[in-house]
Amino acid sequence: MSGLVTIGETMGLFTAAEPGPRADRFRLGIGGAESNVAIGMARLGAHATWIGRVGQDTAGDLVRRELTAEGVLAHIGVDASAPTGLMVKTQPLAGLSRVEYHRAGSAGSRLSPTDIDPQVIQGAGLVHVTGITPALSGSAAAAIETALDLAEAANVPISFDVNHRSALWRGRDSAGAYRAIARRATIVFAGADEAAMLVGVEAGTAPEALARAIADLGPSQVVIKLGAQGCLALADGATTAAGAIPVAAVDTVGAGDAFVAGYLAEYLEGSAMSERLAVAVRAGACACMAYGDWESLPHRADLALLDSIDPVIR
């Protein structure tokens, strides 16, 4: 199988230099769920392609440079009439992150079906989407629909991470939109609350029941992300669980994307479910141990560092 293709918005990211209630020094980076997954895949040795749109500005230039430097093949449209979206990330308290979004009218929200190259989708080993992009605008939702249509026609598996952002939907039917994508997907990832919303059951429903309810929509693989409790996967009727790797978490933003990247990298390798989950939880743990949305995503060799008992590497 060839590599992963993903579609979404990546923004400029201003991150506070240190924790505290009053941030006055920031550094500029980038961040976006789909590009985080693409970078995570590339670092684990998989081929990854990101499709998106940026503005003709400093943040857009940085998106292109960082993705290219990380080995991600970027199909980027440059929109001279709209800015690259921005995020501001602070830590009011150590270990507690707050992210504010400034993306209304952004270049990424103007993603459209014309940005989707049929040959890129048809040549993919896997197409990965999230619930974020369809919420950005009607044209962005149409772009995702076009990508899914092309993937289905070419028998390319579809991966879907719910990644719910309530503020983006503004009272619209997010659950209905998510179900429509889940019905077309081979693999669905969801947190427990996201899974409950997706299938319309009460929060607190057992993870296995959630996974089976999602599987009834059509996907052959469902992965419920349970944070510090690990995860549970259902594939072809059989469940597999994996515990989380205990770490001293510094910044949990991006951990879910790292988890997805670890799982999908092993999926493309044809690994057994137990190995997919093992790499996924290790990748998620690594992402929690340093600051940044994607900077701490692990390379293959980094996964073994979690087993080290010596705090100094010589």
Transcribe the chain into DSSP letters. Answer: ---EEEE---EEEEEESS-SSS---EEEEEE-HHHHHHHHHHHTT--EEEEEEEESSHHHHHHHHHHHHTT-EEEEEEETTSPPPEEEEEEEETTEEEEEEE-TT-TGGG--GGG--HHHHHT-SEEEEESSHHHH-HHHHHHHHHHHHHHHHTT--EEEE----HHHHTTS-HHHHHHHHHTT-SEEEEEHHHHHHHHT--TT--HHHHHHHHHTTS-SEEEEE-GGG-EEEEETTEEEEEPPPP---S--TTHHHHHHHHHHHHHHHT--HHHHHHHHHHHHHHHTTSSSSSTTPPPHHHHGGGG---SS--
Is 77 buried (19+), middle (13-18) or exposed (0-12) by CB count in 10 A?
middle
Q: Assess whether 257 carries a catalytic annotation.
A: yes
Active-site pick, 257, 302, 307, 310: 257
Q: Which residues are annotated as catalytic?
A: 257
